[in-house]
């Protein structure tokens, strides 16, 4: 079993084929982490399959995140002490003027979202995974 298959073993995407596609996409993207989807995928068919996967309304990000969260918790339970390091990152969508659902970030002219996450690490500094805390839209004052 590949690391991606082990990490996502509890993903509930509705059928085995979708789960297998997710694992292939994750393996491709992880093999070239700074690349775009077309650069990371093996061929044109894999690129199209990735885009089809991401645009499929049956695919819920929450199901993918839940599988990673479960694997993170499983790893954390193997350690006597786990550090949970909180971070808030601003996602700036100021150049996407017609996007809905954004709010002010950093300054009054920047619009976007705030991503809150928790990085779990062992007391020896080994990364165990992310525990997603949520995405918020800052309110306009």
Going by their DSSP bridges, the two strands 127-136 and 103-105 should be labelled as unpaired
Global pTM value? 0.80
Q: How far is 4 from 98, CA to CA, in rounded Å?
A: 36
Q: What is the mean pLDDT of residues 24-36?
A: 96
Q: What is the mean pLDDT of residues 76-85?
A: 97
Residue with the two structure tokens 């690490």: 121
Q: What is the pLDDT of residue 83?
A: 97
Report residue 94 as tokens. Answer: 């100021």
Mean pLDDT score of the chain: 92
């Amino acid at each position: 079993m590949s690391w991606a298959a082990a990490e996502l073993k509890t993903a509930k995407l509705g059928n085995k084929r979708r789960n297998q596609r997710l694992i292939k996409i994750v393996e491709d993207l992880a093999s070239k982490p700074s690349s775009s989807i077309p650069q990371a995928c093996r061929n044109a068919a894999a690129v199209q399959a990735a885009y089809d996967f991401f645009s499929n309304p049956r695919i819920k990000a929450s199901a993918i995140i839940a599988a990673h969260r479960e694997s993170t918790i499983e790893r954390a339970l193997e350690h006597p002490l786990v550090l949970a390091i909180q971070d808030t990152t601003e996602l700036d969508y100021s150049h996407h003027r017609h996007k809905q659902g954004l709010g002010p970030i950093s300054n009054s002219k920047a619009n976007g979202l705030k991503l809150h996450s928790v990085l779990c690490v062992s007391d020896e500094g080994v990364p165990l995974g992310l525990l997603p805390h949520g995405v918020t839209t800052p309110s306009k004052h």
